[in-house]
Amino acid sequence: MADTASTPAQPKDATGCLVLADGTVIWGKGFGVEGSSVGEVCFNTAMTGYQEVMTDPSYAAQIVTFTFPHIGNVGANPEDIESRVEGAVGCVVREDVTAPSNFRSVEGFAKWMESNGKIGLSGVDTRALTRRIRLSGAPNAVIAHAPDGKFDIPALIARAQEWAGLEGMDLAVRVTREEREDWAGGYWRLGHGYARADWSNKPHVVAVDYGAKDNIFRNLVKAGAKVTVVPAKTSFDEIMALKPDGVFLSNGPGDPAATGQYAVPVIKALLDADMPLFGICLGHQMLALAAGAKTVKMHQGHRGANHPVQRVGEGWGETSGLVEITSMNHGFAVDADTLPPEVEQTHVSLFDGSNCGIAVKGKRAFGVQYHPEASPGPQDSFYLFEKFVGGLG
């Protein structure tokens, strides 16, 4: 166990803390639900969309450090929830959460965090914590909130040290839906809410849910698809029995190699059947694994709404070299050096050169590492939904 003798003295008003596995204790003011949760600490650079971030299943078992200092100031509302299943376990912010000021707000962010079982920690030097993650990697930690300010620090350190971490962990089984669902929600408009899907004479997309955000399905509907969502462990025969025109592979949390134990054989069978495929984030990684590539754990990951990605390779025509600003959330990546000859790299990150897109030659199968549905984030990549659905029939 780490030596706690160097732990900084607890401030009198500290009602929360972040305890890293190396014994570092970061004090602050707790908000949200009382208690403690363990996870990997990451940082997100988005300036908007904190509610969408906190309800993204891709953040399961993670504690999000927001680099933007003012989090919670527009409150929370039921329309901005991306999933009802597990998302981030907690968040770390710079400024105290203030009363909301926005006409769409239904309740304050702190109250929303409490009702959704998530722990928050404010008053933290998030720049210093972000720099630490950039230099040393994403640490395992426990975030805790106790209004009386009483914490068993040695026990919290031990818990952080004993947690196995995300590598080797299949989290898709924790966040996928349990039963098949015919998706009925359309796109959102201010003052109108979410439209209802029109299923008449539409190409049928079966979406495999590894921990999907709802806005993915809304964008598939907007692009002209009828969408059926199925659990992560749905078999090849069960998918084909639904008579899809194409199959979508969703985002999700955890180690892709672990989820691939059951997902990759299904995707290989879909490739052999010449089924059109489109994967994003974890789904992109699953497609790459099925095609023969490997994935690796990243030092700090990519999380935010300002990530530049460039189109590369053949097939882009006049748009080759175009740069898209994208929304990202991933701690694992496809190792571009392991891509087999029959797989083409189509997108690369301009931050670190990592793989951000592939296409399987001779197949209607492609994937991107980023989140083209945004929520939050820019809308540069909506064309991918149109590309996928427009090619079905």
The DSSP result for 79-141, as a single string, is GG---SS---SEEE-SSPPPPP--TT-SB-HHHHHHHTT-EEEES--HHHHHHHHHHH-PPEE
Q: Which of 307, 330, 347, 371 does the annotation list as catalytic?
A: 371
Q: Which of 281, 284, 302, 307 does the annotation list as catalytic?
A: 281
Q: Which of 40, 82, 324, 373 does the annotation list as catalytic?
A: 373
Sequence-distant (≥ 6) Cβ neighbours of residue 100 within 8 angstroms = 72, 73, 74, 75, 76, 107, 108, 109
Active site residue 373: yes
Sequence-distant (≥ 6) Cβ neighbours of residue 171 within 8 angstroms = 60, 61, 211, 252, 253, 254, 259
Looking at residue 276, what DSSP letter applies?
-
150: Cα within 13 Å, side-chain hemisphere: 1
| Host H or E run for residue 383 | helix 383-390
- Order of all β-strands in the sheet with 295-311: 181-182, 226-231, 204-209, 246-249, 277-280, 365-368, 355-360, 343-349, 295-311, 323-334
Two tokens, residue 172: 């898709």
Among residues 168, 141, 115, 110, which one has the least CA distance to residue 42?
141
Among residues 11, 59, 62, 60, which one has the least CA distance to residue 41?
62
- Relative orientation angle of helices 383-390 and 214-222, to the nearest 10 degrees: 60
Active site residue 281: yes
**222 SS3 class:** helix
Active site residue 371: yes
| Host H or E run for residue 174 | helix 172-175
Two tokens, residue 208: 């495999």
**220 burial class (0-12, 13-18, 19+ CB within 10 angstroms)?**
buried
For the annotated catalytic residues, the residue numbers are: 281, 371, 373
